[in-house]
Amino acid sequence: MPKISLKINGRTYQAEVAEGTSLLWVLREHLGLTATKYGCGIAQCGSCTIHVDGQAMRACALKAEDLTTGQEITTLEGLSEDGSHPLQRAWVEVQAPQCGYCQPGQLMQAAALLQQNPRPSREEIKSYMNGVLCRCGTYLRIIKAVERASEIQNNPDA
Amino acid sequence: MPEAMQHQSNAISRRKFLKTSGGVALLIGASGLLPQLISCGDRRNLQEALAKYPVNAWVRLAEDGSLVIYNPAAEMGQGSMTSLPLLFAEEMDADWEKVQVEFSPQVSEIYGSPGWAPGSKLMFTVGSRTTNSYYTTMRRAGAQARQILLHTAATLWGVPIGELSTSPHTVAHKASEREISYGELVPHLTMPDPLPEVGEDQLKDPADFRLVGKDIARWEIPAKVDGTAPFAMDLRLPDMAYGALERGNLHGAAPTLENESEILAMDGILKIVPFDYAIGVVATTLEGALEAKKKMKIRWGDSQASGFNSQEAYASYAARAETGPQGEVITNKGDCERALRAASKTYTETFRNDYIYHAQMEPLNAIVQVAEDGSRAEVWVGSQQGADSKLGVPAQLGIPPEKVDIHLQYLGGGFGRRSMSDFVWECTELARAMAPRPVKLVWTREDDMGYGTFRPMSLQRLRAGVDRQGRITGLSHLVVGDGGNLVASGVQNDHYNIPNQWAEWRSASHGIRLKHWRSVGHGPNKFAIECTLDEIAHDLGQDPVALRRGLMADAPRALATLEKAAEMARWSEPAPEGRAKGVAFVEHGSLGTGICEISVDRDTGQIRVHHFWCALDAGVVVQPDNVIAQMEGGVLMGMSSVLKEQITIVDGKVQQSNFDSYPLLRMLEVPDSVEVALLPSREHPQGVGETGTPLVACAIANAFLRLTGKRLRHLPFTPQRVLEALNT
C-alpha cells in the first residue's frame, strides 16, 4: 500500500493507505484525529468539515492522496491549543451544542467564515453555514455563537 | 467567560483525578441499607460491593475535595450529564466546581430508576423520563451523603449533629465557630448507626435550591467544542478490525452472496459473516470493509414488505377506517356515538402521515470484543440503554450479565433510534466470529436510512360534534397504522373538557421496520386533534385560543401555558401583512402551548415559519437554559419533519438513501426566533424532550388555515402538497 505524507495542524503525519481512500477515514481511523466526524460520506451534511489551505472543505469528498503536495490541512484539533478560539469560547458561552456530533463541522465552517468575513451579517452567517446539518436543532444558538465570536475576535476585551 | 473556563480546567483535572486512587467511595443505598465506605484504592472490594448491594448512586470523594458523581442516564444532548449529578450535588450541598461527572456502570439493579412495572428498575433513556424518574432518587442519595458528612463532623468534634450546618462543601459548627471542608472530613468518615432515614420531608425546599433552577453550564459542552468528547464512533482499540454489513433496502429479505470468493480475495478482508437479512464482512481497515460491502453481488429474496407501496396504502387505511372491523379501544369516555348523533353539527377530518426517519447525525456503530473462549465481552457504544440486561449481549452470547461490560459513550443523537440494540447485536456477532479481536461496526448513512426503523405511516379519522352553543360534546379519534403505541400514543385529551371521547387503533402490517421517533404518536395524533379544533373554530367563527380556553377550564396548568403563549405571541394583535399565526397545545409529560407565525410563497408552495413562541409547564426545572434548548431543538426538528422529511416505500424498498434524497432543515430555513417561557412550578419535574416537536405540525397547519382558508392534512407539507391545498 502506498505511503502518504500529510501536513495536518502544522505537523507531518504518515499513513499507509489504499489508493482512493478518503481523507476522512485517514484522519479518523488511521491517524486518530477523530474530531472530524462522519455523517453522510457524500458532502451533504458537513460534519467532516476541515480546512485545506484555509478553505472549508468536506473531508469525506477528498482523496487523501490528492493532499500530499504541501497543502495545509486544519482540523478542529488544530483550531486552538486549548479550546480558546473565539468561536469555541462563544460556543460554550451560548451553550450551543446538544448531542455535539455535528459541532466540529459547524465550528470549522464558522472559522472559515470569520477568516474571510470578520463581521458577517446574520444573513451571511446563515447562508455560509447552510451546508452543515444539525439534527438536534441548535441552529439558532450557532448563529448567536458566530455573532458572539465575531464580537470577541474584533474586540478581545468584549 | 470565567465559568466556561472553569469547566475547561475541570475536564483536565478530571483526568488527573481518575488516575489517583485516594479518597473513598460512598455507596449510598436505597432506604433500609446502610451506606458503605470503601477506599477507592480497593477496586476489588468496590466492585464486589457494587455487585452485591442495591446502591442507587455512587459518589467518590477525595481528600482534596474533588468529587465524582455518576450519571446513570445516556447523554444524547438532553443534558443528563449535568442535570442528574446536579440534583445529587444540590442535596449534598456540594461545590459544583469541584464535581466531575462519569457515566455509572450499566447495571440496572443498582443504577436504574423506577421502571414501568412496580418494583422494577430500568436504565433506559427514553420517553423523556430521565429527570422525571431520577429526581427523587438522586436527591435522596445526595441528602444521605450529606448526612454522613454531618455525622462524621459531629463525631470528630463531639457536638450534637443538630448543631451543625452545611454550606457548599463545608460543615460548620456555629457555636464554636469551627468549619471543616468535605475533603478534610474524608480521613475521618464514619457511618452513623443507625443511619437516619432521609424522608422526602427532609429534602430541601425548592425555594432553597442553590444549583437547581439556576443556569449552570452543561458539564460536557467544553469537550464537545474542542473535539475531545468521545463518541463510540471515535474509539479505536489495539488490533481492532472493522465490520460492515450489506442489508439491502427491502427489510427482512434473505441474501445470497454470489461472489464470496471474489470478496474474500480482496485486500485486507478477514471474514465474511452471514446474517439472515444481511451479509457481514470484517476487514483490517474501515475503507476495506466498505469497499468489500460495495462490491458484494447479492441476490435478495422476497420479504413481507415485497409488493408494498406506501403511498398507495392510504386507500386501504381509509377503507379500514370506514368499514372496520373495530380495533383496540384506547379511550371510551361517556357515549361518544350518542353525542355525535345528538350534535347540532358534526365534523369529519382525515389526516395522513408519511414514514419518517431518525437521522441522528452519528450513524449507528459499536465496538465489541469477545474473549477467545466466549466467556466475557466488552461493548463500547452510544446507546439509550434498554430493558434487556446489558443491551441483550449476555443473552446473545449465553453468558451471565456480570461477564459483560458496557462502556457507555456520548450519543451523536438518539431520538429513539438508539433505544434498540440491533446494531450492538450485529457487532457482537462479528466480534464473536473474530474473537478475541475487537471489531468496530460502522453503519454507513445509506445503511442507517435504507435499513432504518421509521416512525410508521398512519391515517387519523377524527369526528367531532358540537352543540347549539358551539361547545364540543364528542370527539372520536381513529388511528390506522402499524406498530400499536408507535401510532396510537398521544390520542388522549386529558386537559380538554370534552365529555364524550372515543379513541381506537386499527392495525396494519407491512414488514417495514419501525421504532419510536421523538414524541412517537404524539406528532401525528396531536396534529389531527389540534387541527380538528381549529377546523371547528374556523367554521363557527370562534377564535382558536378562545375555543381552547373554554376547553381548558378544568385544567389550570394547561390553561396557563395557553395564556402565556398567547401573551408572548401578541395573539390578539393581527399578524403582519401576508402572515398568520396558528396555535397548538401538547402534553407529553410537560404541558406546552406553541404559536407560530408563517407566510406562504403561493408560487413555490414553500411555507416559511417566521417566529415560534412556546410556553411550558414542566414542573420544577432543573436546568432552565437547557430546557429552553430542548424546546428550541424540538421545534426545529419538528419543522424539519413537517416541512421536508418523507420516507417512501415502493415494492417494499425504501426509496431514500442519504441526505440528498432525504433533506433535513438547514440554517437558511430557521425562524427568526424561537422564544420559550418556562412557567414557575413546585411540582415534580416532567419530561421536556418531546413536547416541542409535536407542536409544530398543528401550529403550522392552523396558521395556514387562518392565512389561506385551506387545509393541510397530510404530513409532510411538501411544496407540492401546499400547492395542491392552495388550488383546492
Written as one string, the DSSP assignment of B240-268 is: -EEEEEE--SBTTPPEEES-HHHHHTSTT
Return the pLDDT at B24: 58
Judged by DSSP in three states, B42 sits in coil
| Cβ–Cβ contact B539 with A under 8 A | no
Distance in Å, alpha carbon of A70 to nearest chain B alpha carbon: 24
ipTM greater than cut 0.85: yes
Whether B454 and B355 have beta carbons less than 8 Å apart is answered as yes
Q: Provide the pLDDT for residue B106.
A: 86
Best of B10, B361, B517, B609 to substitute, by most chain A Cβ atoms within 10 angstroms, is: B361
The closest CB to that of A38, out of B218, B363, B414, belongs to: B363
Please give the angle made by the CA atoms of B676, A99 and B423, to the nearest 5 degrees.
135
Least confident of A78-87, B107-116, B522-531: B107-116
pLDDT at res. B49: 54
Chain B hits for A82, Cβ within 8 Å? 8, 226
The answer to whether A133 faces chain B, any CB pair under 8 Å, is yes
Contacts of B7 in chain A (CB under 8 A): 92
pLDDT digits (tens, 9 = 90+) for A37-96: 999 999 999 999 999 999 999 999 999 999 999 999 999 999 999 999 999 999 999 999
pLDDT digits (tens, 9 = 90+) for B575-634: 999 999 999 999 999 999 999 999 999 999 999 999 999 999 999 999 999 999 999 999
Nearest C-alpha of chain A: how many angstroms from B672?
8
Q: What pLDDT does residue B322 have? A: 94
Q: Is the pLDDT of residue B527 over 60?
A: yes
* Contacts with B89 (C-beta within 8 Å, 6 or more apart), sequence order: B67, B69, B96, B99, B142, B211
- Rounded to a whole number of angstroms, the distance from the CA of A104 to the nearest CA of chain B is 6
Mean pLDDT, chain B, whole residue set: 92
In angstroms, what separates the C-alpha of A16 from chain B's closest C-alpha?
A: 11
DSSP B162: G
Q: Give yes or no for A24 touching B (CB within 8 A).
A: no
Q: Give the residue from chain B lying closest to A100, CA to CA.
A: B224
Q: Check residue B118 and give its pLDDT.
A: 86
Judged against a pLDDT cut of 70, whether residue B647 lies above it is answered with yes
Q: Does B666 touch chain A (CB under 8 A)?
A: yes
Please give the pLDDT value at position B40.
Answer: 54
Residue range B56-76, pLDDT digits in tens: 346 778 888 888 898 999 999
Using pLDDT thresholds of 50, 70 and 90, give the confidence band for residue B27: low
Q: Do B363 and A47 touch (CB under 8 A)?
A: no
**pTM for this structure?**
0.94
With cut-offs at 50, 70 and 90, classify the pLDDT of residue B48. Answer: low
Share of chain B above pLDDT 70, in %: 91
| CB contact at 8 A, B347 and B536 | yes
State the smallest CA–CA distance between residue A148 and chain B in angstroms.
12
Smallest Cβ distance to A101: which of B8, B412, B670? Answer: B412
Chain B contact for A106, CB < 8 A?
A: no
Among A38, A104, A137, select the one facing B227 at the smallest CB separation.
Answer: A104
> Would you tell me how many other CB atoms lie within 10 Å of the CB of residue A153?
18
pLDDT for position B56: 39
- Is residue B237 less than 8 Å (CB to CB) from chain A? no
Q: Please report which residue ranges of B543-687 form alpha helices under DSSP H.
A: 544-551, 556-568, 624-643
Q: How confident is the model at residue B23 (pLDDT cuts 50, 70, 90)?
A: low
Buried/exposed code over B532-555 (b: 16+ C-beta within 10 A; e: otherwise)? bbbbbbbeeebebbebbebbbeeb
Which residues does B274 contact at the CB level (< 8 Å), separation at least 6?
B255, B257, B280
Q: DSSP 3-state assignment of B464?
A: strand
Q: What is the pLDDT of residues B159-192, one digit of tens each?
A: 999 999 999 999 999 999 999 999 999 888 877 7
Task: Check if B77 contacts A (Cβ < 8 Å).
Answer: yes
φ, ψ (nearest 5 deg) of residue B329:
-85, 125
Burial of A119 (0-12, 13-18, 19+ CB in 10 A): exposed
Considering only B36-40, B433-437, B676-680, which range has the smallest mean pLDDT?
Answer: B36-40
For residue A20, give how far its alpha carbon lies from the nearest alpha carbon of chain B (Å).
9
Q: What is the DSSP string of B302-367?
A: --TTTT--HHHHHHHHHHHHHH----EEEEEES-HHHHHHH-SEEEEEEEEE-BB----SS--EEE
pLDDT of residue B63: 83
B234 touches chain A (CB under 8 A): yes
pLDDT band (50, 70, 90) for residue B37: low
B221 touches chain A (CB under 8 A): yes
Contacts by residues B167-174 (CB-CB < 8 Å, ≥ 24 positions apart): B167/B93, B168/B93, B168/B94, B168/B95, B168/B96, B168/B210, B169/B65, B169/B93, B169/B94, B169/B95, B169/B98
Cβ distance A91 to B225 less than 8 Å, yes or no, reads: yes
Contacts 24+ apart (CB under 8 A), B266-274: B266/B291, B266/B292, B266/B295, B267/A1, B267/A18, B270/B241, B270/B434, B271/B433, B271/B434, B273/B243, B273/B429, B273/B430, B273/B433
**Does the pLDDT of residue B44 top 70, yes or no?**
no
CB atoms B659 and A44 under 8 Å: yes
Cβ contacts of B445 on chain A, cutoff 8 Å: 39-42, 45
Residues 282-341 of chain B whose Cβ lies under 8 A from any Cβ of chain A:
285-288, 291
| Residue of chain A minimizing CA distance to B448 | A40
Question: For residue B288, which residues of chain A lie inside 8 Å, CB to CB?
Answer: 18
Select from B78, B225, B612 the residue whose CB has the most chain A CBs within 10 Å, as the one to mutate to test that interface.
B225
A49 near B CB under 8 A: no
Q: Which residue has the higher pLDDT, B46 or A110?
A: A110
For B664, the closest of A28, A91, A133 (CB atoms) is: A133
* 3-class state of residue B17 by DSSP: helix
Cell numbers linked to A107: 465550528
Q: Do A101 and B362 touch (CB under 8 A)?
A: yes
Q: How many other CB atoms sit within 10 Å of the CB of residue B240?
A: 17
pLDDT of the residue at B51: 47
pLDDT above 90: percentage of residues in chain B: 83
Chain B residues whose beta carbon lies within 8 Å of the beta carbon of residue A9: none
| Nearest residue on chain B to A141, alpha-carbon basis | B629
Which of A98, A107, A140 lies at the smallest CB-CB distance from B670?
Answer: A140
How far, in Å, CA of A83 to CA of A77, rounded?
9
Beta-carbon separation of A97 and B286 below 8 A: no
Whether omega for the bond prior to residue B168 falls within 30 degrees of 0, making it cis, is no
Chain B residues lying within 8 Å of A96, measured CB to CB: 221, 225
B233, B634, B659: residue with CB nearest A133: B659
- Candidate from B108-112, B291-295, B435-439 with smallest mean pLDDT: B108-112
- pLDDT at residue number B305: 98
d(CA B491, CA B480): 12
Contact (CB<8Å) B415/A101 = no
For residue A103, the chain B residues in CB contact (below 8 A) are: 224-225
Q: Label residues B145-162 b or e (16+ Cβ within 10 Å = b).
A: bbbbbbbbbbebeeeeee
User: A133 Cβ partners below 8 Å, 6+ apart?
Assistant: A39, A44, A45, A46, A47, A102, B361, B659, B664, B666
Residue B651 C-beta-side C-alpha neighbours within 13 Å:
2
Chain B residues with CB under 8 Å of A100 CB are: 77, 220-221, 224-225, 229, 410, 412
User: Of A106-115, A143-152, B102-111, B255-264, where does mean pLDDT reach its minimum?
Assistant: B102-111
Check residue B632 and give its pLDDT: 98
**Is the CB of A74 inside 8 Å of chain B's CB atoms?**
no
Residue A82 DSSP code: S
Q: Is A121 an interface residue toward B (CB < 8 Å)?
A: no
Q: Note whether B78 contacts A: Cβ–Cβ < 8 A.
A: yes
By Cβ distance, the residue of B411, B659, B660 closest to A99 is: B411
The pLDDT value recorded for residue B68 is 87
List CB contacts of B569: < 8 A, sequence separation 6 or more. B581, B583, B595, B597, B611, B613
Q: Which of A46-50, B21-25, B87-91, B471-475 has the lowest mean pLDDT?
A: B21-25
Q: Please compute the mean of the pLDDT values over residues B96-100 and round it to a whole number.
A: 95
Number of Cβ pairs < 8 A linking chain A and chain B? 187
